[in-house]
Amino acid sequence: MIAVFLFHLSKTIMQKLSNYSLSQLRTLEAQVVEELKKRHFLSISQAREQILHIARGAGISVDELLSGKAPRKSESGALPVKYRHPDEPTHQWSGRGRQPAWVKDWIESGKSLDEAKV
């Protein structure tokens, strides 16, 4: 139903356009081009505002967003300690990655890892 309506509407518009002079058609063309530019600029502005709103909500600054670089990791890169050997405080482990030898020895000796939890 809608398709039929649009077909008749476009046919009517084309019939009206065929009555325009060349000068009138060029004026209409200039108006259409100008309207297209305005709408394009408006859509870009709206998209920019939506992107900035999302970035602000995520705690990302405009500079970070526009730099295109991945956010930096923490300066030290070290993870917090989760486990520490009770007798040797220098032996510690974050709980991630491979288990250090002292953790393996600790578990093999029948002790629970919870006992070494910080």
pLDDT in tens, the chain (118 residues): 677 766 666 777 777 888 888 998 899 889 989 999 999 999 999 999 999 889 888 888 888 878 877 666 655 667 888 998 888 888 899 988 888 999 999 889 998 888 888 8
72 torsion bin: left (phi>0), alpha (psi -120 to 50), beta (else): beta
The reported pLDDT for the residue numbered 8 is 66
Contact (CB, 8 A) for 93 and 83 = yes
